[in-house]
Every structure is written in C-alpha cells, then in structure tokens.
A and B are shown apart, each in its own frame.
Chain A
Amino acid sequence: MSKILRSRNTGLILVLIILLIAAKILTPGLFSTYMIINTLQNNAIYAILAVGEFVIILTGGIDISIASQLAFVGIICTKLSCDHPTVPGVVFFLLSIVLGALCGALNGFLVGYLHMVPMICTLGTMYIFRGLAFVVSGGEWWFAAKYTQSYRWWAIGKFLTIPMIIWWTVIIMVIVGIFLAYTSAGRRIYAIGTSRESSAVAGIKEPKVTFYAYIICGILAGLAGMLNTSNYAIGYYGMGEGFEMTAIAICVLGGTAITGGKGRMDGVAIGVVIMAVVNSFISMIPGMSVWQKTLQGGIIIIAVAINYFTERSAARQALRERGALI
C-alpha cells in the first residue's frame, strides 16, 4: 500500500506541476513572493480544518460540523474581543482552543461513548453550533474597525516576513503529523480506523480514542475560527459555510481513505497546495468566481475516481503477478 500511496503522491505532484505551468501561462504574476504568501494565507484556514478532518477520517468517521464550530468559536472570540478591547489577543487564542475542545468533546462523547453514527451526529451538532453562533452574535456583523491590533496579530502579524497564520498552519501540520506517526496515541487512531474488532482485542479503548480524536478536530476547528476572524477581520454567524466540504475534499485529494485507517500527512499537505492553486486560479481569472463550486465538486469526484482506479490497477497487477505462478 505504501507503494501506491507514494505513486499517488507523485501523481498529485505531477498534477500540481501541470496546474502551476498553466497558472504561469494564464496569470504571469502568480510566482511573485507576494502572491505565493497571499495564496497560502488565504488557504491556511482550509489547511487547519483539513488536518482536523483528516484525524477524524482516519478513525473511520466524518465530521461535517467543523465549519459550524469555526463560526461558533470565531463569533465568541470576536464578540468578547470587541467588547473588551484591552484584553490581549493571546487570551482569545487560548480561549478558542478551549472552546473548540469543548465542541469536539460533545461530538466525541456522542460518537465515542453513545455510539452514534458520525455523519448523523455531526449533522445534528452542525445545526446546533450554527444556531448557537447566531444566538451569540444576535445577528450582528463585525468589521475591521472593531478588531484590536493584538487580536489581529495572531493571523496577520509577521515573523520573518511570513504571516503568523501560515506559521500556525505549518506548526499544526508538523505537530499533528508527528503525533499521528510517532506516538502511541496517534497510532491508536489509525488502529481503530483499520479494525475496531482487533482494537478491542488489543485492549485499545475505542470510545476513548474516538473521543480524543474529535477533541483534536474540535481544537483545530476552534483555532481556525479565531484565526479566520483575525485574518479577514470580519465576523458573522454564517461564516465558513461549506468549508467542511473543502476540508474533506483536501483529505480525499491527499489520498486519505474515507473508510478510515489509511492516509498520510504529506498527502494532506499536497492536497492543501493543490486546492490553494485552484482557488487562486479562480480568484485571479475574471468571471471565474462562479465556477468555484463546480470546480471543487469536480475535483473531489475526479480524486476519488483516481483513488479507485489506482487501487483497481494495483489489484490487477497483483493478479497478473500471481497468475504468472500458476
């Protein structure tokens, strides 16, 4: 399988190169440092959400409430920050982690301990968080003027000329990547996604692992909420709608098996970059913005279809090898 994954990743990189060449021809300004940083900055939120979704998909579940969590946590942070402008931004950064963890804990409790179907459970909590976001906001919108500098620093502040939000994204990817590959807790997430029965026999407490996986996802969604408001300096209850689809799309594009247990962080990273390039394409070519949904939808279908065909051709190859022995 690792071979296929590797070949899949090379395939994705090829696609990426083709996209970049096309971009170069169509929009010559794309490769300026400014543009690259700008593109990454605009897609960082998707990347953070995708990492959270990745953890959930590895357990064999799915979380479609992340965009609502983003809105909920983002609104709370925004509201508190605007009401208390003297409080430093770091408080809200930490607050978003706590709130996100709580949201995730609710999902994790329902899915892990009460054994609800992830899709349906998070469908329910998606409604709940979105509704709560509205209740908290009271329907109000917040714009740039209301945000404090110390709040905004967490996304747009610069370190080594690169915006903080990009640093956070990279840090999150590295930490979660190491967590998944090199710690026993991380490997248990793969284990329950691979086989629940075996996990039970191996003494892995599936409810607990699921619970913590959703908490991780919640934390990342919460962080994304705070950073999203901080980055764009706009907050309203409907923000982020549909982001969960993009996050899922990135995971699938990166070769994560929707059935759980299979997938790697490097794949997700490549998925993020491809999605970023496509998005910047859309934003740069005039009249393309209406194409965004169609393109994204098409990309996921094609990505999954490619997954299917690579797996089938691998199976056929295996058959041929075995056939030679008969």
Chain B
Amino acid sequence: MSDYILELKDVVKTFGGVRALNGVHFQLKKGEIHALMGENGAGKSTFIKVITGVHQPDSGTMLLEGERVTFRNTADSAKEGIAAIYQHVTSFPDLTVTENIFMGQEIKNKFGFYDWGAMRKRAKELIEPLSKEIDVNKPMGTLSVAAQQLVEIAKALSRDARILIMDEPTASLTRNECLQLYRIAKDLRDKGVSIIFITHRFEDMYELATRVTVFRDSTYVGTWDVDGITNQALVKAMVGRELTAMYPEKTAKIGDVVLEVDDISKEGYFKNVSFNVRRGEILALTGLVGAGRTEVCQNIYGIMTPDSGHIRLEGKEVRIKSPIEALKLGIGLLPENRQTEGLVNELPIYQNVSSATMNQFVKGGQLDVDAEMKNAIELCKKIQLKANDITAPPSSLSGGNQQKVVVAKMLSSEQKVLIMDEPTKGIDVGAKYSIYEIMNELACRGYAIIMVSSEMPEVLGVADRIVVMKGGRVTAEFTDVKNTTQEMILEASLKERSQSA
C-alpha cells in the first residue's frame, strides 16, 4: 500500500499534433494541500481534465490508493470521490443554484422524478457553512464569481469528494474572498480531503500548500516541499531561467496634464470619480476586482457615457459617445479580455492590427493590403511578436503573443492617452516583462498611460502614481510610489465608505 492517495506516472496526452502533456508525474498524499504551478500553457488544466476523466490519457498510468484505475468519463471519477472546480467556472448560468449543485446526481423520488423539495433542503445545508448570503433558488448567473465558486465547492462536497481539485480559484477573487477560500480549504484538509490547488500566485501557495509541483512546457519539472524552496528557485523552475529584474527602469519624463477626469458618475457602476494623468506618466488604477475601474475606463473610451461630470483632454472639454470618437481624439484602450474584446481570432494578424485604423490604407477606394501588411510587420517587429508570419491567425499564438497583437493594434495609430486594462493578465512572466518595456517606451514617447491592475507588485513596480478605487469610488491616491507599500494600497482598497474623503 502506498502513502499516496493519487499517483500519476508518465502521462502523455496529445491534441491533434500538439502534446499537451508529455510524460508528467504527480503524487498526492492523503490530507495534504498540494500546489500545482507553472506558466500558462504548461499543461495544468489538461492535467486535471485527465484526472477527472474529461480526457483520457494517451499513455501512462493513474493509481488511486495504489490501484490502477481508468476513468472513462467524469462520472467514473466522481464515483471515486474526485471533484474539480475549473478555472472558468463551469456552471449553468440560467439554472438555479440548487440545480447546479445536483446536476448529474439529482435526488429523485420513488417514481424517478425530481424531488425539488429535498434538493433545495440539501442544497441549503451544503451552502450554509460556506456562505449565508447565497439564495439557492436564484439562477447561478446572478451570483458574483466568488459566490459561484462557493457553489462549485458545495457541489464538490455534495459528492463526498476525497480529492478536490481547484484550478486557479483565486484568480478572480478579491482579497477578502481569498481569505475566506483559504479558510474553507484548510477546513476541508483537516477533514481529510486531499486538495490539488492550481495557482499562479505565490501567495496562495505559501498560505496553503505543503508541497508544490511545477510543470513547464507540458513536462514535469519537479516537486518540492514549500518550506524547502526559495521564491527565486521556484520562478526559475517555472520560467526555465532566472529573472534578474522583474520591472524595467523608468526613463520617461513626466510633463503636463493630458487627460483630466472630473467628478464623473455612472449609475450602478461608480460615483464622483476624479483623477488626471500627465504626459509620460504611468498612472495605475487599482483596487479590487469589481471596484469599478474597468467601467471608468470604458466611460472614458466611450463604450458607455458617464451620467454626469466632465472629461477634459489637454484642457478642452470633450464628450465621448463612442470608441470611434475616442480614437479620433487620441484615446486608446487595451481591453481587459483579449479573447472577446481585443482579437478576431479567425482573421490574420495584420488585419487584427489594422482593424482600428483601416482608413489609413484606403487608396483609390480600396484597401492597399501590401501597405497594410508592411505597417503591421513593422509594428510587430517593434514589439517582438513571435509568429509564423503576419497572415497567421492569432489563435495559433500563445497568450502573451496574443496580447502583443492587441498592443500592436493600439500602436497602429498615434495616441495621446492609452488605457491598458490588466495588460499582463494571464500571460507568462517573460511576456509580462516585454509588455512593461513597451509601456515604458510609450511613456518616453510622451504617451499618458492609465494602467488598470489588480496585482500589487506590478502596480508598485511600474506606476508613477497610484489611484485606488473601492466600491465605485476613489479612496486614495499615492504620489510617492517609492514609499508606498502593498499594505497601504490594500488598506485603501478595503476602506469603508464612511472613512472616504
């Protein structure tokens, strides 16, 4: 009998011609929280899908308590007490919380029909210890992401899970919600549940895990005790090289105020928001997810228009009703979600790059494709895009390179103000650095940059000035970034309304 509840050896999985997993190993002890780390595309998500039986491995063995098992589908793994909470919450938004919890293992009465009453009661019992605010009769789609995740946990618990897999559960949670999740995870561990915790954040790992396994480029790198490995060594294991400096040196000169946002409000999103940004300055707009930062940016960019307040560009008041007007005025936006807002995956890279500036290439009534391509190649070289050629579709690129395509799109026209909403979200460490470099260079060229970010080290490392929002209001502004600490920002982003100025 082995001491491992779950053991995977030499697992290989290919999709089409791509190896998503190339001989990976994994060992999970009973009652431990085991962190699984690696850059995006390292194969973590595929790995858990193999464990839960969504995918079948091409080769390799899986041992459950020392016994060889084959999962033909998720039902098989569920019977063995394996439950997973996936990265993108995989719920049914139109169905109620109750139904989401019991999907696939409904409680039926003796005639084989649903026993809605019993299910609701049981759902309440499961949810209660996790959160008192979730109404089990509400459709899943009306809950916040954090609440949805709690429902997923309740779902796992309803299946008497022995092994719980959490795929980046903290990625879209606020600090408070994270703490709550840590507490729940620890509770479960103490009850004997073994947890595989996939994460990007070191914070999660230090807080929870006893051991950590690292994947890189679909292969297994190693497993360490969390106490026995340094931060530096772990980064090296993940990236495959040492990062000397996480953030480039700032070289831009800060000039006059370019954009001034004065007391703007939008019902349901934010109230009385004011700040300004100067030439060559990188202004970080931070706070917790859902604080209204993205919406403020969307109001500046014309996706929505503010109900009240003024926006002044170089001293002149402007009313921006659509992104078309914003672009004309010289305001660009790098959207938060590159897949849905930034890219057209089916069209070649060059068409993506020029999609906002097509009119430049019109010659005699028609598009001059050669000029368009030439321009796109130039821009993509500047940002060191890694691609086959300029006609490849963005879907063939890695996350970081996709983000670069969106950046190139924003660079294709001259702008005064560039808003970057979570520019490094979900891209690997190496690509992050080059995005910072690009930001720095743009600032040198006189761009005023507003960066929305939730990652505090990034905010402190990149910004010249920091504005913190909480619950739709600005709660603090830090001009002296060198002497600002993560705690100060955190405090401001948790401040109650009565304390705000």
Contacts and interface: CB of A to CB of B under 8 A. Distances in A.
Contacts of B78: 203
A25 interface: no
Contacts of B112: 183
B93 interface: yes
A276 B54 CA distance: 47
Given A204-B104, A318-B268, A194 B113 contact: no
Contact of B75 (A2, A198, A203, A325): A203
Interface string B450-486: 0000000000000000000001110000000000000
Interface string A307-324: 000000000001111110
A200 B268 contact: no
Contacts of A178: 113
A265 to B, nearest CB: 14
B93 A195 contact: yes
B337 interface: no
B471 A184 contact: no
Given A182-B114, A183-B112, A326-B270, A203 B74 contact: yes
B182 interface: no
B74 A201 contact: yes
Contacts of A200: 54
B343 to A, nearest CB: 19
Interface stretch (B84-92, B311-319, B488-496): B84-92
B108 interface: yes
Given A194-B93, A201-B54, A261-B92, A182 B73 contact: no
Given A182-B113, A183-B113, A202 B103 contact: yes
Contacts of A181: 114
Contacts of B95: 187, 190-191, 194, 261
Contacts of A319: 267-269
Contacts of B92: 190-191, 194-195, 198-199, 261
A325 B269 CA distance: 10
Contacts of B73: 203
Contacts of B74: 201-203
Interface string B110-132: 00111010000000000000000
Contacts of A322: 268-269
Size bracket, chain B contacts: 35 or more
Interface residues of A, number: 31
Q: What's the dominant secondary structure at chain A's contact region?
A: helix
B107 to A, nearest CB: 10
Q: Pick the most buried of B103, B116, B141: most chain A CB atoms within 10 A of its CB.
A: B103
A198 B268 contact: no
A183 B106 CA distance: 9
A320 B267 contact: yes
B271 A262 contact: no
A184 B114 contact: yes
A202 B90 contact: yes
A261 B94 contact: yes
A1 B267 contact: no
B48 to A, nearest CB: 11
Interface in A119-156: none
A178 B94 CA distance: 19
Contacts of B330: none
Q: Pick the most buried of B92, B269, B473: most chain A CB atoms within 10 A of its CB.
A: B92
Q: What's the dominant secondary structure at chain B's contact region?
A: loop
Q: Pick the most buried of A187, A190, A320: most chain B CB atoms within 10 A of its CB.
A: A187
Contacts of A320: 267-268
Nearest to B114: A182
B46 to A, nearest CB: 13
A46 B106 CA distance: 33
Interface in B53-112: 54, 73-75, 78, 86, 88, 90-95, 99, 103-104, 106, 108, 112
A83 interface: no
A261 B106 CA distance: 18
Contacts of B139: 1-2
Interface in A147-204: 178, 181-184, 187, 190-191, 193-195, 197-204
Interface in B225-255: none
A262 B93 CA distance: 10
Contacts of B99: 187
A191 B75 CA distance: 16
A326 B54 contact: no
B356 to A, nearest CB: 28
Contacts of A321: 268
Nearest to B89: A198
Contacts of A201: 54, 74, 86, 90
B108 A198 contact: no
Contacts of A204: 103-104
Given A202-B103, A323-B268, A183 B114 contact: yes
Nearest to A184: B106
Nearest to A195: B92
Interface in B137-180: 137, 139, 141-142
A274 to B, nearest CB: 24
Contacts of B90: 195, 197-198, 201-202
Contacts of A183: 112-114
A185 to B, nearest CB: 10
Interface string A276-288: 0000000000000
Contacts of B292: 326
B75 to A, nearest CB: 5
A326 B94 contact: no
B108 A184 contact: yes
Contacts of A325: 471
A179 to B, nearest CB: 9
A182 B142 CA distance: 23
Contact of B103 (A191, A261, A326): A191
Interface in B249-298: 267-271, 292
A5 to B, nearest CB: 11
Contacts of B114: 181-184, 187
Contacts of A194: 92-95
14 contacts: A1-B139, A2-B137, A178-B113, A184-B106, A187-B95, A187-B106, A190-B95, A194-B95, A195-B92, A201-B90, A319-B268, A322-B268, A326-B271, A326-B472
Given A200-B54, A203-B74, 20 more contacts: A1-B142, A182-B113, A182-B114, A183-B112, A184-B108, A187-B103, A190-B92, A191-B103, A194-B94, A194-B95, A195-B90, A195-B92, A197-B90, A199-B92, A201-B54, A202-B104, A203-B78, A319-B269, A320-B267, A326-B473
Interface of A: 1-2, 178, 181-184, 187, 190-191, 193-195, 197-204, 261-262, 318-323, 325-326
Interface of B: 54, 73-75, 78, 86, 88, 90-95, 99, 103-104, 106, 108, 112-114, 116, 137, 139, 141-142, 267-271, 292, 471-473
